[in-house]
Amino acid sequence: MPNRPIDELKSMIGRSEDIVDEMRIEAGKVTEFAHALGCEDPVHYEQDAAQSAGLQSIPAPITFLRTSVFPRYRREGPDHDPVFDLGFDKRREVHGEHSFRFERPIYVGDTLSASATLVDVYQRESSGEGVLTFAVQEIKYRDEDGETVATERMTVIEVPTTDEDEGGR
């Protein structure tokens, strides 16, 4: 069970918070990220290749937006939870479903801001092991003009406490 009662978590549904300010999409960071993914497509490295492919600039790989939770972009600083403080035990928190919807590519040169909204919280019984708590969060990324360029939706799950968590075997 989370540190917060389920009713308190449910009362947070619909709450939005600004979580990212001035996330500059930099060529060097896009290159590093694309290399880390093993992406060989030259559109992620070369302006000419991107333009030849009909793009206005070098696009960031689609999962690049996850770097928005890195400490350098967090509005509240590195010790603050990157999205919502749900009271989940970080040792028992797992990543659930995750999706991105793009209105347009994210390009080198963009500067993004983001706000997160808690869209749902619910619990389900786990096959005899206890209760799973689910929190669905949506992050909207906006460009310098305030236009939404992408929406990220993710589910965070807190799994039940096990005997090992309690010091037993």
| pLDDT tens per residue across span 71-82 | 666 656 555 566
pLDDT of 139 higher than 90: yes
Number of Cβ atoms within 10 Å of the Cβ of 62? 13
Per-residue model confidence (pLDDT) at position 76 = 62
Q: Which CATH architecture has domain 6-158?
A: Roll (3.10)
Find where tokens 């909204």 sit: 117
CA angle 26, 84, 148 (to 5 degrees): 45
How confident is the model over 143-156, as pLDDT tens digits?
Answer: 999 999 999 999 99
CA angle 74, 33, 25 (to 5 degrees): 50
Per-residue model confidence (pLDDT) at position 54 = 96
Per-residue model confidence (pLDDT) at position 89 = 87
Per-residue model confidence (pLDDT) at position 168 = 47
Question: Could you state, in order of their start, the residue ranges of all structural domains in the chain?
Answer: 6-158
pLDDT of 128 higher than 90: no
- Of residues 75 and 86, more confidently modeled: 86
Q: Find the radius of gyration of the CA atoms of the chain.
A: 19
